[in-house]
Amino acid sequence: MKRTKVGILGATGAVGQRFVQLLEGHPWFEVTELAASERSAGKSYAEAVEGRWKLSADIPDYARELRVKKCEPGLDCELVFGALDSSVAGAIESEFAEEGYFVVSNSRNHRFDEDVPLMSAEVNPGHLELLKRQKTKGKIVTNSNCTIMGVTIALKALMDAFGLQEAMLFSMQAISGAGYPGVPSLDILGNIVPFISGEEEKTETEPLKILGKLAEKGIENAGFRISAHCNRVPVYNGHTVCVSVKLEKKASVEEFKRALAEFRGEPQGLKLPSAPEKPIVLREEPDRPQARLDLMAGKGMVTTVGRIREDPLMDFKFVTLSHNTIRGAAGAAILNAELIKAKELI
Ligand code: NAP
């Protein structure tokens, strides 16, 4: 298969660096362009991220000498991955779509546009139908917020098997979720901050669009209710979410576990390069999942679920863990792009 030329907008940030890393040697995509703000434009990538490359492996060789450009159309690629600060992402992504680029974004700006799929490749591949309604030469597809990406895969498995009435989510979110330099160390070390601006609103609404149905006017939201508490905790990577759910149909603990463990999506059927073999991995130990131990399951693309038990108020409670810059951002966007390519939409 001919590799598609891709660019990364916001290549120097926390999510952008993850894209640069995950796309090294990708069988379907070749990174030909890296772009960021005027602060970085004109420098080699290695110079632009000097002192702020925060991943444990070195900058991949292919990217070191690539010249960072401004985020303006004219880039030599067909598809751009978006990892831009949301203060600028909306307008820049629209401009790229107008000029004919396929935009696969991580930012919140276009998530609720009527004709834009808010995608999680395993959960709602059918929402790609919305692309036909976009009037621009290029197209925009978005990822969800990092906190709910992993949880929504679990909710999809449960909704399909038993139906959902209510979900209560209590997040413990890593500091890397705030980008770099993010939360000041004096605010987060030895502390928990029980507020992340805008996060509870996103957590309560985005899963309902992802789990919704294609309708004449955009997506008809899924009909259950979500309540969320979002907290920043002193963990480097990995968002943990404690979840309680009320089901429409009664289930035993065994049936509940089976529905999660057996869940598969189109990326698994199509054997997409970034698809984990199983999107959900169950842990039976009483003290798992833990960010330090389970974060890299399935190369960071898996949602690890543990502590499944009955809930005295709702029906069941459990804990999910997913990697916020891989499954919650760059990895999920790459999986979306693989699905788009497999369906010959680019
Ligand atoms: P970040 O570390 O702050 O990086 C922001 C990027 O945007 C940098 O490359 C920066 O370039 C670029 N940028 C800033 N202002 C710009 C401008 N005026 N013009 C062009 N480029 C500009 O942020 P992040 O954590 O990677 O997040 C990126 C996006 O992904 C955000 O929308 C965020 O909400 C979303 N997201 C983040 C996570 C996560 O876990 N971190 C997860 C899911 C989604 P310079 O380096 O040149 O300033």
Q: Are residues 273 and 231 in the same domain?
A: yes
Annotation says 26 is catalytic: no
Joined together, the tokens standing for residue 249 give: 């149909």
Q: Are residues 221 and 249 in the same domain?
A: yes
Q: Are residues 129 and 181 in the same domain?
A: no
* Cα–Cα distance, 98 to 161 (Å, whole number): 40
**What are the strands of the beta sheet with 118-119, ordered from one edge?**
68-70, 29-36, 4-9, 79-82, 102-105, 139-143, 118-119
- pTM for this predicted structure: 0.97
Cα angle for residues 212, 172, 250 (degrees, 5° grid):
50
Q: Are residues 159 and 301 in the same domain?
A: yes
Annotation says 239 is catalytic: yes
Q: Are residues 94 and 238 in the same domain?
A: no
Q: Are residues 269 and 309 in the same domain?
A: yes
Tell me the CATH number at 110. 3.40.50.720
Q: Which of 146, 230, 242, 323 is catalytic?
A: 146
Tell me the CATH number at 176. 3.30.360.10
pLDDT for the residue numbered 94: 98
pLDDT in tens, the chain (346 residues): 789 999 999 999 999 999 999 999 999 999 999 999 999 999 999 999 999 999 999 999 999 999 999 999 999 999 999 999 999 999 999 999 999 999 999 999 999 999 999 999 999 999 999 999 999 999 999 999 999 999 999 999 999 999 999 999 999 999 999 988 899 999 999 999 999 999 999 999 999 999 999 998 899 999 999 999 999 999 999 999 999 999 999 999 999 999 999 999 999 999 999 999 999 999 999 999 999 999 999 999 999 999 999 999 999 999 999 999 999 999 999 999 999 999 999 9
Q: Are residues 140 and 160 in the same domain?
A: no
Overall number of domains in the chain: 2
Q: Are residues 123 and 157 in the same domain?
A: no
- Centre of ligand 1 to C-alpha 79, Å, is 18
* Cα–Cα distance, 280 to 305 (Å, whole number): 7
pLDDT for the residue numbered 1: 79
Cα angle for residues 100, 103, 108 (degrees, 5° grid):
135
CB-based contact 212:219 (threshold 8 Å)? yes
DSSP line for 146-215: HHHHHHHHHHHHHHHHH-EEEEEEEEEE-GGGG-SS-S-HHHHTT--B---TTHHHHHHHHHHHHTSEE-
CA nearest to 20, candidates 35, 28, 4, 31: 31
Share of the chain residues as helix, strand and coil, in percent rounded to the nearest 5:
35, 25, 45
Measured from CB, residues less than 6 Å from any atom of ligand 1 are 10-16, 36-37, 39-40, 71, 83-86, 88-89, 106-107, 146, 176-177, 179-180, 324-325, 328-329
Q: What is the domain range of residue 8? A: 4-145+329-342
Q: From the CA of 16, give the closest atom in ligand 1.
A: 26
Q: Are residues 44 and 8 in the same domain?
A: yes
Q: Are residues 293 and 155 in the same domain?
A: yes
* Cα–Cα distance, 7 to 92 (Å, whole number): 13
Q: Classify the C-alpha dihedral 187-191-196-202 as positive or negative.
A: positive
Q: Are residues 41 and 70 in the same domain?
A: yes
Q: Are residues 16 and 65 in the same domain?
A: yes
